[in-house]
Amino acid sequence: MKPVTRIHSRTAVLADENIDTDRIIPARFLTTTSREGLGKLCFNDWRYLPDGADNPDFPLNRPEAAGCAIVVAGRNFGCGSSREHAPWALLDFGLQAVLCSEIADIFRNNALKNGLLAIVVDPAEHRWLLDHPGVELAIDVAGQFVELPDGGRIKFQLEPFARHCLLEGVDQLGFLLQRADAITQYEHQHEEKAA
Amino acid sequence: MTAPRTMTPRTLFEKLWDAHQVAPETPDTPAILYIDLHLVHEVTSPQAFDELRTRGLKLRRTDRTLATLDHSTPTLPAGPDGERPYATPAAKAQVAQLETNCREFGVELHGWDSADRGIVHVIGPELGATRPGMTIVCGDSHTSTHGAFGALAFGIGTTEVGHVMATQCLLQRKPKTLAIRVDGALPAGVGAKDLVLHIIGQIGVDGGTGHVIEYLGPAVEALSMEERMTVCNMSIEAGARAGLIAPDETTFAWLKGRPRAPQGQAWDAAVAAWQTLKSDEGARYDREVRIDASQIRPTVTYGTHPGMAIALDAPVPAARNAVEQRALDYMQSEAGRPMQGTPVDVVFVGSCTNSRLSDLREAARVLRGRHVAAGVRMLVVPGSEAVRRDAEAEGLHEVFRAAGAEWRVPGCSMCIAMNGDLAQPGQLVVSTSNRNFEGRQGKGARTVLASPATAAASAVAGRIADPRAYLTEAAA
């Protein structure tokens, strides 16, 4: 994973609560065996009209949302399935961060492992962000704050290890592989007990 | 060997967590948690196998890994030429990829030629691969199902699937605990699906976020294993990491004699160990919720997430905001009117929530001697080859066919609608599955989650119907 330290972008807002992983990427597209190229399918059934044209009611299709890398989403974003295709699709679509007052556990975990900043902010600040689409934000991973245009800051917390991995581009599988001896030792004790 | 007695009473979750720590969590690092059983299917594994290949890694414990085909597989049988009717070439290629990956990495695959193939969360328990005290993961959110056996079981993403393949471990922060105590007894004609839909309706679609739920109380203890699986299965629909039920005599009796269950003396030793797997007197949970089972009626969803659930004869609540109004509009549900009586187009009985033998019996009990209403299409999809065999041995398939329903080959089918089994835009589906998200069962399809009895009664009536009248008549 490439390090992620700071993201600077205008925001787009997807205000709906409970945007589930089926909305982020419908299940019928999960027959892929690759993690590439899912951006064109991101939000497919919301983003396109039945005739394939862009749906003007989909907030990310509006001209002012073009190029936005930060989405402010309604509460409980990413609920539903464990499909990692959801963060893969969002990243490939061009998003780098989701700000929300609550994010579903598995989605948040998957997102952070892929360098998509899934950030929980407190409800009052979340409300303000929902009400101000297009605001210019800078997200600082090391400092754990979102900087507003007037210099004001919204604080957030990332799980310390996830933050460390984002900043340093740590390979988590490599981290686990380095603990092979401890794993082997655990297996010996554990399997003896079970026998 | 018994662990030294600690002074602090522990919850069942804490016992499972403590027993699987290769390394405990610190402020800087998550715990390294050992995984006893890794279940694998075709959809969320190919990119993880690729990762192993790219890094030149082996799969660490093939004996702790079990694969099956379920999501992308057709539920119509192979044609005379032996060709299976895959929805797309991509679906066929994905299945072939899992077959190749399992051969290359030495993983036991319950594929097309296996007498045990089926939905991953149905076959794990059936084979006795799922047992109390284990940690179980799968690249599938409904892994929570296995918590019914007192195992810590949860869904993971594909990156973590790769971690488990390579190291048999995961990096995890300790979740919080939520006790849901269900007092009283479920009334006649009200089942586990009604109970869990009611619970999610009460605590909300995010009511369990960050928590492992333990279900306790007399109404939970009274549930069969199949019913416990239905309840734990839907824990994720309240956002919970996992659901748990302490193992007891019901659990032991269900597991005894299954292919992977211990035998003889090993069985006795295992049961003795499993009997300690319950929350200690005085153990503290982060949150507790109480539910009165005696007040629950047949329950269905009326909106576009499983938290929008209500008794089928109760008025649909008014929308509290624009998102809820949009959900009602999508569903064509009307505030103030009950869901009962809503015209139905499709009925689906199946999925890891409700495709076990007892679920099929429940549906058959309603359908026996009756017929699916004109214009309604009904699909019955058993959860596994074993369920299919058992159901056919007692003639359930003939009950379904005589009633005008389609009897299919095992798989996830219309729950996730990625194999070609799907509803058309605007159609209303009464479904025994677990998610009623927009488009889940086909673009524009409207899903109403329900029990197998409610689904079958609705198929007969052609409208969402209370199953209790049908169950009483069938029993008479």
C-alpha–C-alpha distance, residues B203 and B308, integer Å: 11
Q: How many residues does this entry show for chain B?
A: 476
* Fold match, B12-174+249-274 / B315-475: yes
Contacts of A190 in chain B (CB under 8 A): 19, 34
Phi and psi at residue B221, in whole multiples of 5°?
A: -60, -30
Subunit contact B440:A172, Cβ cutoff 8 A: no
Interface test with A, best of B71, B438, B447 (most A CBs within 10 A): B438
C-alpha–C-alpha distance, residues B227 and B230, integer Å: 5
Contacts of B55 in chain A (CB under 8 A): 173
Domain ranges of chain B: 12-174+249-274, 315-475
Contacts of A30 in chain B (CB under 8 A): 43, 71-72, 418
Subunit contact A173:B162, Cβ cutoff 8 A: yes
Minimum-distance CB partner of A80 among B141, B166, B418: B141
- DSSP 8-state assignment for residue B415: G
Ramachandran area for residue A44 (φ above 0: left; ψ -120 to 50: alpha; else beta): alpha
Q: Does B164 contact chain A (CB < 8 Å)? A: no
CA A108, A110, A111, A115 torsion: positive or negative?
positive
C-alpha–C-alpha distance, residues B302 and B308, integer Å: 6
C-alpha–C-alpha distance, residues B174 and B30, integer Å: 8
In chain A, the domains with their CATH numbers are 6-194 (3.20.19.10)
- The residues that bridge with B446 in the sheet, in sequence order, are B428
Q: Does B158 contact chain A (CB < 8 Å)? A: yes
| The CATH number fitting domain B315-475, selected from 3.30.499.10, 2.60.40.350, 3.40.50.300, 3.30.360.10 | 3.30.499.10
C-alpha–C-alpha distance, residues A101 and A99, integer Å: 7
Task: Spell out the per-residue pLDDT of chain B, length 476, in tens.
Answer: 455 555 799 999 999 999 999 999 999 999 999 999 999 999 999 999 999 999 999 999 999 999 999 999 999 999 999 999 999 999 999 999 999 999 999 999 999 999 999 999 999 999 999 999 999 999 999 999 999 999 999 999 999 999 999 999 999 999 999 999 999 999 999 999 999 999 999 999 999 999 999 999 999 999 999 999 999 999 999 999 999 999 999 999 999 999 999 999 999 999 999 999 999 999 999 999 999 999 999 999 999 999 999 999 999 999 999 999 999 999 999 999 999 999 999 999 999 999 999 999 999 999 999 999 999 999 999 999 999 999 999 999 999 999 999 999 999 999 999 999 999 999 999 999 999 999 999 999 999 999 999 999 999 999 999 999 998 765 44
Complex ipTM value = 0.97
- List, as ranges, residues 412-471 from B with C-beta within 8 Å of A: 416-418, 422, 435, 437-440, 443
C-alpha–C-alpha distance, residues B40 and B397, integer Å: 29
Subunit contact A23:B90, Cβ cutoff 8 A: no
Subunit contact B159:A23, Cβ cutoff 8 A: no
- List, as ranges, residues 353-412 from B with C-beta within 8 Å of A: none
Q: Does B241 contact chain A (CB < 8 Å)? A: yes
Q: Does B110 contact chain A (CB < 8 Å)? A: no
C-alpha–C-alpha distance, residues A45 and A22, integer Å: 9
Which residues lie below 8 Å from residue B215, measured CB to CB, with a gap of 6+?
Answer: B180, B182, B228, B231, B232, B243, B244, B245
Nearest to B242 by CA among B383, B157, B124, B136: B136
Supply the CATH classification number for the domain B12-174+249-274: 3.30.499.10
Phi and psi at residue B409, in whole multiples of 5°?
A: -85, 145
